[in-house]
Structure 1
């Protein structure tokens, strides 16, 4: 039947893959026109053809109508494609909505290591995506925003995202590298520049001292003022016939 999971599908997170979509949402999808007209009899190859035609992402909108995107997510859960096929969806750089479909599906079925390894590079993908809102309107988001939401939020597109191992745990056990900010090179250059300026300022002060030029250091200025004051005082004391100060 059209609403059954593939017989050779493995359980995901201990349940039938379809159950990763909540029952009320699954029911809405099964009853939707798009599901009845476009998802019956699909296999993974023909599903790709449907994915290429997507022009927006989203969950339920209006009177709880599922988007074609969400319908295809559920169909993928039914078909349970191999991980290699899923990775091809995620790594597809030609069709952004095919990638978005693969990203969302992988977030549902993948392990923490697979999710971080495959999704984090996409934080550098800034292509625009159309998002269908609850009120039927559309807004523009970017692929990196979508990926970040999947990595940081507990619920997306009316779907509870399965819990995954925290990233820092995978890094501490050596399975992932510790994250480095994209701004790290700029921060390092700025730090080196500040250290260089400080060193140049110190060298300049030393040179000015050797040449007996006035410097901006407060302690040196204070010492000069004190020496000048004693000389003036001794000159005055000499005129008065008094002993000079030491």
Structure 2
């Protein structure tokens, strides 16, 4: 039940599950949630478990137990669902914890261009989420999680694969420069002012 799907492809040259460090994998394999709830999950039934999530996080408590979020993330790495499934997780508007699960999974397995393209829109997603930590609970937001995924090397007790600099991808892969929501608002306001000026001239 802990083996990677035989049809899974290597990610960054390694078995997908090894993107979670060995000591953490062993804690997950030993957890009650993994043994009772993750056994027998498929790419389809995993979605149902993801919908039930009510927190994000790596480990919690003095003995650093893995969260359900981390267990399901490892299960996704084990099953390696189609990339389209991860995209649907990220882009769904109904279940914010599913969105974050998809974002973290994509950050681990995706190519840099895919990661920027699919995750940057979430920097405008301000939904509140609960994060479970070793010390307890805290409130964060989807955009803060995504910002950490794009800029941190270690997050949610995970070592994140190296991400190619955005500027490099703009030069070599044609990635469009990122526009902030504020820039869009300013442009919209400018267009509105221009329209108003034209209307006044016509009058």
In the superposition, the TM-score normalised over structure 1's length comes to 0.74
| Alignment of 1:81 onto 2:90 | no
Tell me the SS of whatever aligns to 2:45.
Answer: helix
Check whether the contact 2:131–2:140 (CA below 8 A) recurs between aligned residues: yes
Report the Cα distance in structure 2 between the residues aligned to 1:36 and 1:92, rounded to whole angstroms. 28
Q: Give the CA deviation at 1:125.
A: 0.6
1:161-196 Cα offsets, whole Å, 9 max, x none, are: 000211111111242111233333677889xxxxxx
Residue number in structure 2 paired with 1:116: 116
Q: Give the CA deviation at 1:133.
A: 1.3
Tell me the SS of whatever aligns to 1:3.
Answer: coil
Residue number in structure 1 paired with 2:196: none
Check whether the contact 1:113–1:175 (CA below 8 A) recurs between aligned residues: no
In our comparison, the structure showing a higher alpha carbon Rg is 1
Check whether the contact 1:128–1:143 (CA below 8 A) recurs between aligned residues: yes
1:76-97 Cα offsets, whole Å, 9 max, x none, are: 0000111111111111111111
Report the Cα distance in structure 2 between the residues aligned to 1:185 and 1:88, rounded to whole angstroms. 25
Check whether the contact 2:124–2:181 (CA below 8 A) recurs between aligned residues: no
5+ residue gaps in structure 2? 191-203
Report the Cα distance in structure 2 between the residues aligned to 1:185 and 1:41, rounded to whole angstroms. 46
Residue number in structure 1 paired with 2:3: 4
Residue number in structure 1 paired with 2:194: none
Report the Cα distance in structure 1 between the residues aligned to 2:109 and 2:91, rounded to whole angstroms. 16
Report the Cα distance in structure 2 between the residues aligned to 1:99 and 1:181, rounded to whole angstroms. 20
Cα distance, 1:184–1:23 mapped onto 2, change above 3 Å: same
Report the Cα distance in structure 2 between the residues aligned to 1:73 and 1:163, rounded to whole angstroms. 19
Check whether the contact 1:59–1:132 (CA below 8 A) recurs between aligned residues: yes
Number of corresponding residues: 189
Cα RMSD for the two superposed structures: 1.6
Residue number in structure 1 paired with 2:197: none
Check whether the contact 2:123–2:147 (CA below 8 A) recurs between aligned residues: yes
| Alignment of 1:138 onto 2:145 | no
Report the Cα distance in structure 2 between the residues aligned to 1:48 and 1:187, rounded to whole angstroms. 39
1:91-119 Cα offsets, whole Å, 9 max, x none, are: 11111111111000000000000000000
Runs (4+) of structure 1 exceeding 6 A deviation are: 186-190
Tell me the SS of whatever aligns to 2:94.
Answer: coil
Tell me the SS of whatever aligns to 2:140.
Answer: strand
In the superposition, the TM-score normalised over structure 2's length comes to 0.89
Q: Give the CA deviation at 1:51.
A: 0.5
